[in-house]
Amino acid sequence: MWKEMKVGLCVPVSPPKCSIASSSSSSNYNYRPAVILPGLGNNSSDYKKLEETLKDKYGVATVVAKVSRLDWLRNASGLLDSNYWRGTLQPTPILLWYLNRVHDAVQEAKQLSSSNPNTHISFIGHSAGGWLARLYIQQFHHSLSHISLLLTLGTPHLPPPKGLPGVIDQTRGLLHYVHQNCPKPLHTPHLKYVCVAGRYIQGAPLFGKSNPNIDSSLPTRPDSAIITSPPHKITLRARFVGQGYKQVCGKADVWGDGIVPEVSAHLEGAINISLDGVYHSPVASDDHFRPWYGSPAVLEQWVQHLLH
């Protein structure tokens, strides 16, 4: 397990010891409330276990933005926009439905702290929910004073490079907009950025050779789900995953969480953390053999940022 502070500097650390505060009602919550922003294709119930763990074990009152899988079909309206086909799609109006759901969740989270209606809030953005949180901060800037932490889990923050053969921007320009127009992660006393990336499997090119340590599926030690393959063996799975990585960062032969490459999940200027053996999604995850960012053992490695 590695912790990466800033960009390019990695130091091993032991899992942090966090104080545990059980709570059965909103009056017992000890820390600022958190809002979870679901990732693309996910539904609010996918985060139920994470929500309950944050509330019951750590005393963090938590609200999940209300999103269903069918809601994501609303984005298909972008097909009618000529900017979609040019790869220059703008976030509004296509994403306004999601941003409004986030705003509703923010208002609900504020009410969880009845003693202090001006309390600060933590954002936990999973996958696309991370860059959508950045977009919310830009579009709903009047709410910025209430947000003190943006913590992202496996978020593809960086737009894919332009002009590479075989690489298509899956967001059709939305990530380029976020990268160019949303506030950079500059730490202030009022807002901190933390980006968590998973290293679950290394991708491989569709053809040819690759580096060793390609695949991962079962744990080799208690804090990691990584298992390495012989240098001469490149699995079909690694090649398949590599093609997905290539669409995100332009390279196939990189580490990532199975969906998002590690290099894309970090932001310059943020507190950047890389965790071994962490899978991308709560869907098809397993707390022991395929833990995701919200699995209890993984949560212990980043939850301290919610408690400070």
pLDDT 10s per residue in the chain (308 long)?
444 444 433 433 334 344 444 444 444 667 899 999 999 999 999 999 999 999 999 999 999 999 999 988 888 887 878 877 887 888 888 899 999 999 999 999 988 765 565 678 999 999 999 999 999 998 887 666 688 999 999 999 998 888 788 888 888 889 899 998 887 886 666 789 999 999 999 999 887 665 544 334 333 333 344 434 455 578 889 999 999 999 999 999 999 999 999 999 999 999 999 999 999 999 989 999 999 999 999 999 999 999 97
Work out the burial of residue 305: count CB atoms within 10 Å of its CB; fewer than 13 is exposed, 13-18 middle, 19 or more buried. Answer: middle
Residue 232: the pLDDT is: 52
Residue 5: the pLDDT is: 44
The rounded distance, in Å, linking the Cα atoms of 265 and 274 is: 9
Residue 282: the pLDDT is: 95
Beta strand 121-126 pairing with 147-153: parallel
Residue 110: the pLDDT is: 87
Residue 212: the pLDDT is: 43
Residue 65: the pLDDT is: 97
Residue 207: the pLDDT is: 78
Residue 125: the pLDDT is: 98
pTM for this prediction: 0.83
Structure token digits, residue 125: 């953005």
Cis peptide before 161 (omega within 30 of 0): no
Return the exposure string of 71-110: e unless at least 16 CB atoms fall within 10 Å of the residue's CB, then b. bbeebeebeebeebeeeebebeebbeebbebbbebbebbb
One-letter amino acid identity for 66? K
Residue 116: the pLDDT is: 60
Q: Is 129 helix (H, G, I), strand (E, B) or coil?
A: helix
Torsion angles phi and psi, residue 29, rounded to 5? -70, 130
Structure token digits, residue 37: 């922003």
Closest CA to 294 of 84, 134, 140, 125: 125
DSSP E strands, 171-234: 192-199, 201-202
Torsion angles phi and psi, residue 185, rounded to 5? -75, 75
